[in-house]
Amino acid sequence: MSEASNTGSHGPLHQFEIQSLIDLPLIGVNKNIDISFTNSSLLMVVAVIAITVFLAGGMRRGALVPSRWQSIAELSYEFVAGTLKDIVEASGRKYFPFVFSLFMFILFCNLLGMFPYSFTVTSHIAVTFALAAVIFVGVTAIGFIKHGFRYFKLFLPAGVPVLLAPVFIPIEIFSYFTRPVSLSIRLAANMMAGHVLLKVIAGFIVAMGIAGVLPLLFTVILVGFEVFVAILQAYIFMVLTCVYLNDAIHLH
């Protein structure tokens, strides 16, 4: 869970503030555009490094009888591959590298945000919406490349009477274009809400003195629950990505 440098003087939302670490001004460009290296950028870099170390270290030996580290690395690979196969079937195999990278990145960003004095990258809608937008544009492009103008059939479910088309088509179009919004808000809102609750409850531990044992115990339980939510939200993001891929490939 992200913490403020001075927990007594900052509210629960201070942990989500973007802080510039290295100023990188754009020369000759609008000065309102800020590309500084921030705490959010740092945690994303740390997440990528952690993923690389986790996978490269786990598969370094490639032993026939795997170690615990290798087993976890292999299980993460097989878990994503199995999910992709179950939803998109064999035709989705070529998209495995992207789906696996997406899942691992979100998972590690979520989990790294649980460490004290860290920063929860996925609590910011700018980050989650950027990921969702890439998925939305990519899936739409795949659909049109594979099916051409027949991809528009996605907006009229099979078996729907033509007379009901004026009703169903606008609903399906609206649902389609809200995908990146719902996908990004779901992840950001869940991560932010949990961290805010942890921060608020943790503030009662010292203030309540001896009676603070109760909020302390509740905080420990809540931390465990937040770890579960961090994993679950990464899984949900991956599953929905696979569902969108399946729609684009099979027009379901």
With a CB cutoff of 8 Å and minimum separation 6, the contacts of 109 are 43, 44, 47, 120, 121, 122
- pLDDT tens by residue, 173-194: 999 999 999 999 999 999 998 8
In three-state secondary structure terms, 115 is coil
Indicate if the pLDDT at residue 34 is higher than 80: no
- Write the CB contacts of 234 (distance below 8 Å, at least 6 apart in sequence): 103, 106, 107, 110
Phi and psi at 125, nearest 5°, equal -65, -25
Q: Which range scores top for mean pLDDT: 59-63, 124-128, 212-216?
A: 124-128
Range with the lowest mean pLDDT among 209-218, 223-232, 235-244? 209-218
Crossing angle of helices 125-147/213-250, nearest 10°?
20
Q: What is the pTM of this model?
A: 0.85
Give the residue from 5, 41, 7, 6 showing the smallest Cα distance to 198.
7
Q: Show the tokens assigned to 216.
A: 């302390």
Average pLDDT over residues 31-54: 87
Within 8 A by CB and 6+ apart from 24, the residues are 35, 36, 37
On the question of pLDDT at 138 being above 50, the answer is yes
- DSSP letters along 163-184, please? GGHHHHHHHHHHHHHTHHHHHH
pLDDT recorded at residue 116: 82
Between 206 and 192, the more confident residue is 192
CA 168 to chain centre: 30
Closest CA to 248 of 83, 81, 88, 80: 88
Per-residue confidence (pLDDT) for residue 229, from 0 to 100: 93
Confidence of residue 210 (pLDDT cuts 50, 70, 90): low
Question: What band does 16 get if pLDDT is binned at 50, 70 and 90?
Answer: confident
- pLDDT higher than 80, residue 252: no
Average pLDDT, the chain: 85
Dihedral class, residue 34 (left if φ above 0, else alpha if ψ from -120 to 50, else beta): beta
Compute the average pLDDT of residues 123-130: 93
Mind listing the pLDDT tens digit for each residue in 78-107? 999 999 999 998 888 999 999 999 999 999
Q: Picking from 123-137, 145-159, 199-213, which range would have the lowest pLDDT averaged per residue?
A: 199-213
178 or 64, which is more confident: 178
